[in-house]
């Protein structure tokens, strides 16, 4: 509807089928630049993007090219963006994010990358202590800088994947 009443009207090439789902909101009057209004609307859908083709407006789901976004990457990415200041997590924010990931029941070992788990396993073997079983355990002590660095690295990668799925680029996240 918005495309038909825009001044000038916008030709439609294709719209994602998720836009055909019924909504509970009432219609309303919108003022502003059409592109800004479309941006605002599609932000409500994870992975939805819009662009202009030769034939008209295209609105489609666009996700990461390499693989679908995991539940862990989505949650960790959201938490990173929620707690970051100037794009970085302080140690205190990292501890909070780790606690929230544990509360959401994300298994520690299964959500690390294999090379990262090898670092934790090698440290456990070297020190004769068990490897951490939760994100909170891994970042609990500031003296374990390598553990903290590995968890921060994993969360940073999750944030980049999440940003890519939301914005089409990890740079904006």
Domain limits for position 83: 71-172
Q: What is the pLDDT of residues 22-80, one digit of tens each?
A: 555 666 777 777 778 888 877 777 677 788 887 888 887 765 554 578 899 999 999 99
Q: What is the pLDDT of residue 66?
A: 45
Strand positions, DSSP E, the chain: 12-15, 48-52, 57-61
Would strands 57-61 and 12-15 be described as parallel, antiparallel, or unpaired?
A: parallel
Q: Does one domain contain both 106 and 32?
A: no
Count of C-beta atoms within a 10 Å radius of residue 96? 17
Q: Does one domain contain both 46 and 80?
A: no
| 66 found inside a domain | no
Nearest Cα to Cα of residue 148 among 91, 88, 79, 64: 91
Q: Does one domain contain both 84 and 167?
A: yes
Q: What is the pLDDT of residues 110-151, one digit of tens each?
A: 999 998 999 999 988 998 989 999 999 999 987 789 899 999
Q: What is the pLDDT of residues 77-110, one digit of tens each?
A: 999 999 999 888 999 999 999 999 999 999 999 9
Going by the DSSP 8-state scheme, the letter that residue 104 receives in this structure is T
Tokens matching residue 33: 């630049």
Q: Does one domain contain both 83 and 144?
A: yes
Residues 105, 108: Cα–Cα separation, whole Å: 9
Q: How many domains does the chain have?
A: 2
Q: Does one domain contain both 27 and 97?
A: no
Tokens matching residue 107: 């298994």
């Amino acid at each position: 509807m918005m495309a038909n009443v825009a001044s000038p009207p916008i030709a439609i090439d294709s719209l994602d089928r998720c836009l055909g789902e019924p909504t509970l909101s009432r219609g309303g009057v919108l003022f502003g630049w059409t592109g800004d209004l479309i941006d605002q609307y599609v932000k409500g859908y994870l992975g939805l993007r819009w662009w202009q083709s030769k034939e008209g407006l295209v609105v489609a789901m666009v996700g990461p090219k390499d693989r679908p976004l995991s539940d862990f990457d989505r949650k960790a990415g959201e938490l990173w963006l929620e707690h970051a200041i100037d794009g970085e997590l302080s140690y205190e924010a990292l501890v909070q994010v780790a606690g929230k990931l544990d509360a959401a029941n994300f298994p520690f070992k299964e959500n690390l990358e294999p090379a990262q788990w090898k670092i934790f396993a090698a440290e456990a073997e070297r020190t004769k202590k068990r490897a951490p079983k939760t994100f909170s355990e891994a970042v609990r002590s500031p003296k374990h800088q390598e553990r903290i660095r590995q968890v921060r690295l994993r969360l940073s990668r999750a944030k980049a994947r999440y940003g890519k799925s939301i914005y089409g680029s990890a740079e904006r996240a």
